Amino acid sequence: MIKTGYEEYLAAHGTLTYSNVGVSMMPLLRQGRDLFTVRAKGKARCKKYDVVLYRRPPAHYVLHRVIEVREKDYVILGDNCIMKETGITDADIIGVMTEFYRDGKRHTTDELPYRIYSRAVVAAAPLRTAWRKLRQKAGRFLRRLTG
């Protein structure tokens, strides 16, 4: 395995604070406005609701939430996404989010409001997926009618 900047930094320092790029973790993390901190992943398995930084080959990094822990891998989904990712293994995960900074204020993943949010966003994932797919189909139908 080739280690890149994130892995090297986490190996040397244990934690990494960074800003996210993209909208996949909205509303929790807003692009260009909020920061998150991840700690290097140890040997322990991740848990449902953990937000993990993982590597997609060749060297793309993604910050998404574990929604299911399976025997050999994880099912992962961004808070603002509808496509689940499967087959993410412990070897792919390089860090676990421990805190985030919103409007300059520090929040940890141990805080009760965050834990409630995490459970709500995972519970709502099937509804969010169904709603977005329905909107896509309705949009295609309307375009056919008017086009």
Does residue 1 surpass a pLDDT of 60? Answer: no
Does residue 40 surpass a pLDDT of 70? Answer: yes
Those residues whose C-beta lies under 8 Å from the C-beta of residue 147, and which sit 6 or more positions away, are none
As a whole number, mean pLDDT of residues 55-74 equals: 93
Q: Where are the domains of the chain?
A: 5-146
As a whole number, mean pLDDT of residues 107-112 equals: 98
Give residue 4's pLDDT: 60
Give residue 2's pLDDT: 45
Give residue 14's pLDDT: 95
Give residue 122's pLDDT: 96
Running DSSP on this structure, what letter comes out for residue 46? P
Give residue 29's pLDDT: 97
Does residue 130 surpass a pLDDT of 70? Answer: yes
Sign of the dihedral defined by the CA atoms of residues 29, 82, 86, 111, in that order: positive
Does residue 67 surpass a pLDDT of 90? Answer: yes
CATH class of 5-146: mainly beta
Residue at token pair 């848990």: 47
Q: What is the pTM of this model?
A: 0.88
Of 98 and 136, more confident: 98
Q: How far is CA 99 from CA 10, 23, 112, 114, in A?
A: 15, 18, 13, 10
Does residue 3 surpass a pLDDT of 80? Answer: no
Closest to 20 in 3D by CA, of 70, 66, 69, 79: 79
HSE at residue 64, side-chain half, CA atoms within 13 A, is 27
HSE at residue 6, side-chain half, CA atoms within 13 A, is 23
